[in-house]
Every structure is written in structure tokens, then in C-alpha cells.
Amino acid sequence: MNFRGKSSPGDLSGFLDVGSHFDGELRFEQSFRVDGKVVGKVISEGDLVVGEKGEIDGEIHVGRLFVSGLVRGEVHATRRLSIHPHGRVEGTVYSRALVIEEGGVLEGQSSMKSATEERAASETSAAAPALTSAKVVGRIPAKP
């Protein structure tokens, strides 16, 4: 990490450490790591990392989301959502790319369309139901 001078795209804009709690709307530019608890809304075009001890309850709008902890709510990851071993996402997920590693859990609904595209598709196809999302419940067991 470079904490002097100019930052490179991989540097953290900030972090919330274990034992810390944030309630409200969190905005950042490049990347942010959560090892504490966030309740509310997270907004960024950058990367959000939820560590193993991290927990987020609310609405997330980010470029990429990497989950090793717990996320509850509505997730909008415009580029990618990765759920790592021990990571858990509960809620509705909108992402163009979804990766669930062994041991990771997604419980809820997922769609590869944005929420806006999803609403438009459901309005135009109300007469003829079509599969636009999938409900995923379960766990991919970790290797012994």
C-alpha cells in the first residue's frame, strides 16, 4: 500500500476495522475494506472487500464486491461479485459476473441484469412469464 503521494488503483481508500460500526451512507472512490459492521448504503464505482469478520446490512452499489464475511440486502455489482470460502450473501444480487468459490454461500435471488433492466423486462413480459433470474439456496461444500 502506498500511503504517500499518489495512489495506484489497487490502494485502499479506507477501511473499517474489527470492533468498529458504521451506520449511514458510505461513499469511496477506489477500494474499501470492511472488517467491522456497516448498516446502511454503500456507493462506489470501485472495489468493496468484506473480510472474514466483516458484516454489511443494507444496499450495496459498487463496481466489484469480494465477500469473505456476511452481506445481507440488495447487491448491485456492475462488474463482478465474488463470494470466497466462508463468505455468505443473503438477499437479491444484480451482477454481470458471479463467482462462488467452494464453501461460499448465496442465499436469495441472482440476476445478470441490472435492477433497471430487470424491472423493464418484467413490465414488458408480464403477459408471458420468462425466466430472468434464479433462486439459489444452498452451499458448495469446502474440500476436506
- Higher pLDDT: 65 or 124? It is 65
Residue 41 has pLDDT above 70, yes or no: yes
For residue 108 the three cell numbers come to 436469495
Query: What is the average pLDDT score of the chain?
Result: 84
Report yes or no on 133 lying in a domain.
no
Answer whether residue 15 shows pLDDT above 50.
Answer: yes
Q: Residue 6 pLDDT > 60, yes or no? A: no
Region 90-118 average pLDDT: 90
| 138 part of a folded domain | no
- Over residues 69-103, the pLDDT tens digits come to 999 999 999 999 999 999 999 999 999 999 999 99
Q: Domains in the chain: how many in total? A: 1
Let me know if residue 131 belongs to a domain. Answer: no
Query: Which pLDDT band holds residue 9 (cuts at 50, 70, 90)?
Result: very low
pLDDT value for 11: 74
The answer to whether 142 and 124 have CB atoms below 8 angstroms apart is: no
Hunting for cell 468493496 — which residue is that? 48
For strands 134-136 and 105-111, give the pairing: antiparallel
- Asked if 106 contacts 87 with a C-beta cutoff of 8 angstroms, the reply is no
Identify the H or E element spanning 70: strand 70-83
Please give the C-alpha separations between residue 118 and each of 4, 89, 95, in angstroms, as whole numbers: 43, 20, 11
Local structure of 21: helix, strand or coil: strand
Q: What mean pLDDT comes out for the span 2-6? A: 34
Q: Is residue 134 part of a domain?
A: no
Joined together, the cell numbers standing for residue 112 give 445478470
What is the spatial distance between Cα 8 and Cα 1, in angstroms, rounded to a whole number? 9
Note whether residue 136 is domain-resident.
no
Helix (H, G, I), strand (E, B) or coil at 90: strand
CA–CA separation, 110 and 7 (whole Å): 34
How much of the chain, in percent, has pLDDT values that exceed 70?
A: 72
Quote the pLDDT of residue 131. Answer: 47
Structural domain harbouring 86: 14-123
